Amino acid sequence: MAFFCIFIYMKTEFLLSRRNFINSLSIATGGLLTPAFLNDIYSEDELQILEEFGATEDLTKNEAYWKKIKSFFELDQEIINLNNGGVAPSPSPVMEAVIKYNQIANKIPSYNLYRVLNKGREPLRFKLAELAGCLPEEIAINRNATEALETVIFGLSLNKGDEVVLSRQDYQSMQNAWKQREKRDGIVLKWVDLNLPSEDKSYLINAYKNAFTNKTKIVQITHLINWNGQILPAKEIAVEAKKIGAEVILDAAHSFAQIPFSFSEMNIDYAGVSLHKWLSAPFGTGFLYIEKDKIKKVYPLFAAPDDEEDKITKFEHLGTRSFAIEQAINEAIDFHLKIGIERKSARLFYLKNYWVKKLSKIQGVKILTPNSKEFSAGIALFTLEGFEHATLLNKLYLKYHIHATMINLGNLQGVRISPNVYTLKKDLDLLVDAVKELSKA
């Protein structure tokens, strides 16, 4: 009930402050932009064509719906982009918002950046918090997951001998950040080496648990592993970490906006998100989540005034940056909500299993990603016997105009496929036909 009340309060606050922001923008721009556009009505109008599909209808396999979704993206017509894992394109309402917000900024940069667009940060914080299932005062808006996670990695006070549990399958930048702390501060890194893919929950939990000692202070978990699309039982691993008094950092770069979950239910203390991945927000947008009571103890990477010591805004003193792309996160959220996370995650999972099932029947193909919804989402990794991964990747691009990416990490070697909401079944049929033809070559 208390949580529900907080959200009613948040929603009212958000609407009020968003309206103030819109009013100040329309005054500042002298009518360059209409309040209607800024109130998201512009993109709402554009998105109206989606209304012909029922809001609660199961549209997972309805290609006509996803074709409409695709019509919002200006894509390269010559290439099928099956690498949306690294960074994803933004739909046109987001691109148009970036242009319009930049036009505002450019009119009187020092005024419109700091006294106009900057005012949009608080309403945006409310909107992001509602999406993430946490409090607005737990979200610092920044540029990407690397910035968010390294802020925590370098901002925590740890002593010589303190232990950090992390995995060889975590993202490279975060591994490097911890290695740097190991060199500088004498902390001890306890490495978990996961044997993936795995649908064995207790194996995955125990892999972490076995690395815990009475010196463990931090446990880092990658929620959805970028190399092969494996989902880890992060919530359960976090419960185990809490039992020994350790704090948990979640790398949610790939899980946020790809699979449904709520930060407040994950038993975690810190998390990092990139919004230019599965939210399709402009490139260079992300956020840092810090559980409210932990904010005070984390030093920001970029120093902040003393009176912000226990405020999440202390992590936002990043210097001059594009407030236009930051504000366009609003339109990316609107677009995402129009589809809905349940529908989106169901579609991505369906697409993954669609091509995986067909590829599995081809002689020499090996899939290195779990099948079930509990352990996988829209990303998967495959190999084709007799092909170096680089050669396979090149052939897919040069001969079949399919863009994917190559993975080279321990036993996770192959070509990674990551479709998006604009991917149609026929795009994946082309991938299947291409691999079939190559397997016979």
Residues in the chain: 441
User: Within a 10 A sphere around the Cβ of 121, how many other Cβ atoms?
Assistant: 17
The tally of CA atoms less than 13 A away on the side-chain side of residue 127 is 23
- Minimum CB separation of residue 256 from ligand PLP in Å reads 11
- Considering the complex, what minimum distance in angstroms separates the CB of residue 177 from ligand PLP? 11
- Rg of the chain on CA atoms, in Å: 22
Closest CB 204 distance from ligand PLP, rounded Å: 16
Q: State how far the Cα of 328 lies from the Cα of 102, in Å rounded to an integer.
A: 10
The label of the residue with tokens 């930048």 reads 173
Nearer Cβ to ligand PLP (177/432)? 177
Does the footprint of ligand PLP cover residue 171 (CB under 6 A)? yes
Near ligand PLP in 140-159, by CB under 6 A: 144-146
Between 26 and 285, CB nearer to ligand PLP: 285
Q: Does residue 416 interact with ligand PLP by CB under 6 A?
A: no
* Stretch of residues binding ligand PLP (CB under 6 A), selected from 17-25, 98-106, 138-146, 383-391: 138-146
Q: Residue count at the site for ligand PLP (CB under 6 A)?
A: 11
Instruction: Name the minimum Å distance from CB 405 to ligand PLP.
Output: 10
Judged by CB, which is closer to ligand PLP: 144, or 369? 144
Residue 37 makes contact with ligand PLP by CB under 6 A: no
Which of 68, 60, 128, 174 minimizes the C-alpha distance to 327? 128
226/383 with CB nearer ligand PLP: 226
Residues in 260-279 at the binding interface with ligand PLP, rule: CB under 6 A: 274
Q: Which is nearer to ligand PLP, 171 or 287 (CB)?
A: 171
Residue 150 C-beta: closest distance to ligand PLP, Å: 9
C-alpha dihedral sign at 144, 146, 147, 153 = positive
251 binds ligand PLP (CB under 6 A): yes
Q: Is 178 in the site for ligand PLP (CB under 6 A)?
A: no
Residues numbered 184-203 forming contacts with ligand PLP, rule: CB under 6 A: none
Judged by beta carbon, residue 112 or residue 169, the one nearer ligand PLP is 169
Is residue 222 within the footprint of ligand PLP (CB under 6 A)?
A: yes
Strand partners, 251: 222, 272
Question: Which lies closer to ligand PLP via its Cβ, residue 33 or residue 253?
Answer: 253
* 253: contact with ligand PLP by CB under 6 A: yes
Please select the residue that binds ligand PLP; options are 86, 260, 364, 386, rule is CB under 6 A.
Answer: 86
Q: Does 255 bind ligand PLP (CB under 6 A)?
A: no
Closest approach, Cβ 145 to ligand PLP, in A, equals 4
Residue 220 within binding range of ligand PLP, rule CB under 6 A: no
- Which segment (38-46, 251-259, 289-297, 336-344) binds ligand PLP by CB under 6 A? 251-259
Shortest Å distance, C-beta 29 to ligand PLP: 31
Binding to ligand PLP (CB under 6 A) within 224-243 occurs at 226
Residues in touch with ligand PLP (CB under 6 A)? 86, 144-146, 171, 222, 226, 251, 253-254, 274
